[in-house]
A and B are shown apart, each in its own frame.
Chain A
Amino acid sequence: DSGVTQTPKHLITATGQRVTLRCSPRSGDLSVYWYQQSLDQGLQFLIQYYNGEERAKGNILERFSAQQFPDLHSELNLSSLELGDSALYFCASSVGVRGGTDTQYFGPGTRLTVL
């Protein structure tokens, strides 16, 4: 158990809909990262938050957004869903210090299926 929790574990929805994925980081970690894992693309970084502020952005679509709340949990919002958005979405957390030793620990993921 990494200490990172994600809900829900599974989510099935229809095209055009909007969903929210939730992540609670490990105790003491200030940084939260979101990744998407699909069969053809592997693990792709989406976005990072540190202590409530966006720190880095990766391959995140405009239809997707995220935020980190004062209690440090984070939510990833996916809207106008398309079939191709079906994937595993992982949250990771770390202490958040810049530089070499900031190790990321992953949650169990949310499997999103868009029908």
Chain B
Amino acid sequence: GAVVSQHPSRVICKSGTSVKIECRSLDFQATTMFWYRQFPKQSLMLMATSNEGSKATYEQGVEKDKFLINHASLTLSTLTVTSAHPEDSSFYICSAGENTGELFFGEGSRLTVL
């Protein structure tokens, strides 16, 4: 079946630095990918829709200058958390789908900002 992979699975960084998370669709092309954030014991919160070749669409309340999304190819979307702070520590998850209506999720990337 289709696979979506994220990298890195875990990252620890210092406050004020930027962190990039990659999301790849391994065996299908994805014109659209989705980025979620999940805090402990909470549900997934949709952050933005990543569109290949155009600007991402951000959900209300999500800072686009803080969370930079680039979807440069049909198999890769990146999320960059800029000037990260401890409150940005979270589990970031991407997803993408084919025409079947089924959505495939990455393994998630756990960010810890010290």
| A and B from one complex | no
